[in-house]
Amino acid sequence: MSDENQRIETAYVEHMSDHFRRASEELLNAYQRNKEAARQHQCGAFKAALHHAKLSQHHSFNAHEHLKEALGIAERIDAVQPSPGQVRTPFAPSGLQ
């Protein structure tokens, strides 16, 4: 693999890692907002609970978008010839490889 190809692949991996990091942050925020929505609902503050539930949904959507981007990057990396010694396993429909 040429030096330039190595740098491009490294940039893709760093970009993919950034999307995974952002997705995890969004999922944490969604979880926290969901917990707050449940607390507000138990207290009878239904409007506040709805507000927090909507925020949780927003964070979950953002996490989903980041994971889609990371998957797209991973597929682009996978489309490139694998490094010597790297073994590819086909996707098993049952989820087992």
pLDDT computed for residue 16 by the predictor: 93
Give me the long-range contacts of 84-90 (CB less than 8 A, separation at least 24).
Answer: none
pLDDT computed for residue 97 by the predictor: 45
pLDDT in tens, the chain (97 residues): 578 888 888 888 899 999 999 999 999 999 999 999 999 999 999 999 999 999 999 999 999 999 999 999 998 888 875 655 655 555 545 555 4
Mutual angle of helices 3-43 and 46-79, in 10-degree steps: 160
In a domain, 24, yes or no: yes
Total structural domains within the chain: 1
Q: Which two tokens stand for residue 80?
A: 């490139």
In a domain, 90, yes or no: no
In a domain, 92, yes or no: no
In a domain, 88, yes or no: no
In a domain, 96, yes or no: no
CA quadruple 80, 85, 86, 89: dihedral sign:
positive
Q: How far apart are CA 47 and CA 43, in angstroms?
A: 11
Tell me which residue range forms the domain holding 37: 3-77
